[in-house]
């Protein structure tokens, strides 16, 4: 599958696509050169660069995730959370009509194969930040980045 690794303000990101969809974004420690840059891969890189530059709040690249029906429901619900907003694990569980499944929602967030674009960083615990696959520092950066942009756009 085509892949590329880019540098971002929160570290290196490895982007993987198939012929038609974004399949994964992973936090990695080093940049590796891609063998084949497809039009889709270039589009994903461009959208992520625009996001980090504060010029994009919605992603348009097609995504396809592999997971259980429950995980897919959680990931789909995450995509409805607006830029600069957040929800608790419990609120997300209620949104998918599984109000007692907040812990399972947390586990599904941790298994999200496409962080940033499927915005698991926007999900918080009721008593704090909650976890993040890339680390809490990256989650805080993403939330602050989006909040700054939201405030700028409201002026």
Nearest CA among 54, 44, 52, 39 for reference residue 14? 44
Catalytic residue check, 120:
yes
Catalytic residue among 63, 78, 114, 120: 120
Give the C-alpha separation, 144 to 65, whole Å.
Answer: 27
> Could you tell me if 20 and 2 are in contact, meaning their C-beta atoms sit under 8 angstroms apart?
no
Residue positions annotated with a catalytic role:
120
């Amino acid at each position: 599958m085509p892949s590329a690794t880019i540098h971002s303000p929160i570290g290196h990101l490895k982007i993987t696509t198939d012929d038609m969809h974004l399949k994964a974004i992973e936090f990695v420690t080093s940049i590796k050169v891609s063998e084949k840059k497809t039009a889709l891969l270039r589009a994903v890189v461009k959208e992520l660069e625009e996001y980090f530059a504060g010029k994009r709040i919605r992603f348009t690249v097609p995504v396809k995730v592999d997971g259980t029906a429950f995980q897919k429901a959680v990931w789909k619900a995450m995509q409805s959370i607006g830029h600069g907003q957040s929800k608790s694990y419990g609120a997300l569980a209620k949104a998918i009509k599984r109000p007692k499944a907040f812990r399972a929602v947390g586990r599904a967030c941790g298994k999200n194969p496409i962080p940033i674009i499927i915005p698991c960083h926007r999900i918080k615990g009721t008593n704090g930040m909650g976890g993040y696959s890339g680390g809490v520092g990256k989650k805080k950066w993403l939330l602050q980045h989006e909040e700054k942009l939201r405030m700028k756009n409201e002026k």
